[in-house]
Amino acid sequence: MIHIFRKGSDESLPTLVLFHGTGGNEHDLLPLAGLLAPGASVLGIRGNVLENGMPRYFRRLAEGIFDEEDLIFRTHELKQFLDKAAAEYGFDSGNLVAVGYSNGANIAGSLLFHYGGIFRSAVLLHPMVPLRGLNLPSLKDVAVFIGAGTNDPIIRREETEELESLLREAGAEVTMLWGNQGHRLSSAEAEAARDWLKQQS
Ligand code: MLT
């Protein structure tokens, strides 16, 4: 997969795994990663699917209607890539933090839904419920920060709350931050996520 790995200056910090939004790339969230955990190693991954030339992590049939077969396939493909990247770059695959925005938050959510504690923590910015009807693995040792918008035009409040409940029922510790910036990333949520992440170690 197309990606960028930058080794951090502080090896005691977790490695941040970055998942961009639709139309983004592996570089997009590097500035956010620098704010969230200065000194941490980062792995930015470009989604392997193209929608009208725009990279994303899995196919969709329409806005908010996912191609579930492809979503599951891409989830496993990413897990294999993460294992390979850990071996190649020498980062600790037991100490990863996912940072995902929009489509990137959805694939990070799917990785948690399929592989439980693959991430120690996850910063999910404007996520949806990636899949329904799964028996989730235990997320007992996983902490999740969700940044959501009360006026997000593509994610209903109930869907965000459904995701929050699913994660909590699987044992995750979930912290919610509601803002009013629509589907956009806001500096308020980036700063809140940074403060939250500091408390996780
Ligand atoms: C998705 O397809 O994952 C969501 O609709 C978010 C997006 O627009 O990428």
54-104, pLDDT tens digit by residue? 999 999 999 999 999 999 999 999 999 999 999 999 999 999 999 999 999
Ligand 1 environment, Cβ below 6 A: 21-22, 60, 63-64, 102-103, 106, 128, 154
Q: What is the pLDDT of residue 189?
A: 97
* Domains of the chain as residue ranges with CATH: 3-198 (3.40.50.1820)
**Structure confidence at residue 161 as a pLDDT band (50, 70, 90):** very high
CA of 10 to the centre of ligand 1 (A): 33
Could you tell me the end-to-end alpha-carbon distance of the chain, in angstroms, rounded to an integer?
Answer: 29
CA of 107 to the centre of ligand 1 (A): 10
Average pLDDT, the chain: 97
Residue nearest to atom 4 of ligand 1 (CA): 103
